[in-house]
Amino acid sequence: MRLRCSGWPLALAFVAALTLFPSCRRKAVEVNPIQPSITINRDRAPLGSAIEVEYKWTVEAGAKPIPAGYRAFAHFIDSHKVMLFGDDHVPVPAPETWQPGQTYSYKRTIFIPIYPYVGESRVVMGLYPAQARGERIALKGEDIGLRGYQVAKIELLPQTENIFPVYKEGWHNPEAHPDNPAVERTWTKKEALVSFKNPKKDVVVYLEADTSPKFFPAPPVLTVTVGKAGLVVPIESSEVFLKRIKVKAADLGDEEWVDLRLAMNQSFVPKAMTPPLNTDDRELGLLVYHLWVGEADKVGSLEGREVVEATPAPAVKAASAPKK
């Protein structure tokens, strides 16, 4: 359940453009005095882990209005300027609303994909049009080519630096998002189990998921149990949600392995609904995008982020029959 970025074609085009058109980097352009920057909550992070970032756009006096429809890109590149992964998004608020003399900042969580690369990665930011028409905006900063501006560095560590999860029963096969094949997610059944080796330290569990309340006979409720503690999560909409759950070392117990259980109060079978939703005859509960466990003293600063303390493990409600 990790984000897989299909950025390699874009990265190759990026390198090719720099090779074939080196003069593009030297051509004088009119700079719109807007300076991008990023703050990452730690300097080093393993592949497959989560990082917290804060984007900032400083719009200086004299900045020109940005046309509607522009998006931000944040590309993490290797030492050869090959893109490893990215975080393209619409800034908050949207760029067309920005005013001179103002600074706009917002926070996002990024899950680092797993690539055959470890070492220093540079972060490059910029603005591009969502539609085919238009071009990237020339901004203020260190342009490394194609109006991409270097704003930070981070060292990517081997995946083995993570707490290794073992997926057990209750999981269906991963599948690509229908609107974005680069995004992978996995359905659980009514209950799903993961185990991880006990670090004997406080941990933070990251869970990014969603489900469709309209397919359930009653409002769905998720119970997350980690060792002896847990959290109840009512699911009120189909929007993707992110939970950061801190679990104390004492609640992980003394055993070598810790169980992490995701239990829905009910499930549904698309084919068995009235009328049938589709031909899918699987029992479905929660749609998981990312599930990651990190040692609390290694995840970096979580100041300003919503972190929920796990409490003594709540009881899971009795099973309900799938909706038909």
pLDDT at 179: 82
Per-position DSSP letters for 21-67, written without gaps between them: -GGGGTS------EEEEEEES-SEEETT-EEEEEEEEEE-TTPPPPP
3-state secondary structure of 20: helix
Q: Is residue 116 domain-shared with residue 181, that is, in the same domain?
A: no
CATH code: domain of residue 155: 2.60.40.1930
Q: Is position 242 within any domain?
A: yes
Q: Is position 26 within any domain?
A: yes
Q: Is position 232 within any domain?
A: yes
CB 156 within 8 A of CB 117: yes
3-state secondary structure of 314: coil
pLDDT at 143: 95
Q: Is position 319 within any domain?
A: no
pLDDT at 86: 95
pLDDT along the chain (324 residues), means of 10: 41 41 56 97 97 98 95 96 95 97 98 94 96 88 95 97 96 90 92 98 98 93 97 96 98 96 97 94 97 97 96 62 48
Which amino acid makes up residue 64?
K
Residues 263-302, buried b or exposed e (16+ Cβ, 10 A)?
A: bbbbbbbbeeeeeebeebeebbbbbbbbbbbbbbebbbee
pLDDT at 292: 98
Q: Is position 29 within any domain?
A: yes
Q: What are phi and psi of 13, to 5 degrees?
A: -65, -35
pLDDT at 29: 78
Last residue of a domain, one of 105, 130, 159: 159
Q: Is residue 140 domain-shared with residue 175, that is, in the same domain?
A: no
Q: Is residue 26 domain-shared with residue 134, that is, in the same domain?
A: yes
pLDDT at 54: 98
pLDDT at 315: 58
Q: Is residue 211 domain-shared with residue 296, that is, in the same domain?
A: yes
pLDDT at 124: 98
Last residue of a domain, one of 159, 178, 204: 159
Q: Which domain holds residue 121?
A: 8-159
Q: What is the pTM of this model?
A: 0.87
pLDDT at 314: 64
Q: Is position 320 within any domain?
A: no
Q: Is residue 148 domain-shared with residue 47, that is, in the same domain?
A: yes
CATH code: domain of residue 271: 2.60.120
Q: Is residue 93 domain-shared with residue 205, that is, in the same domain?
A: no
Q: Is position 284 within any domain?
A: yes
Q: Is residue 264 domain-shared with residue 207, that is, in the same domain?
A: yes
Tell me which H or E stretch contains 206.
Answer: strand 203-210
Q: Is residue 15 domain-shared with residue 129, that is, in the same domain?
A: yes
Q: Is position 2 within any domain?
A: no
Q: Is residue 68 domain-shared with residue 87, that is, in the same domain?
A: yes
Q: Is residue 277 domain-shared with residue 200, that is, in the same domain?
A: yes
Q: Is residue 68 domain-shared with residue 22, that is, in the same domain?
A: yes
Q: Is residue 197 domain-shared with residue 304, that is, in the same domain?
A: yes
Last residue of a domain, one of 127, 159, 191: 159
- CB-count exposure of residue 181 (10 Å: 0-12, 13-18, 19+): exposed
**Based on the structure, what is the number of domains in the chain?**
2
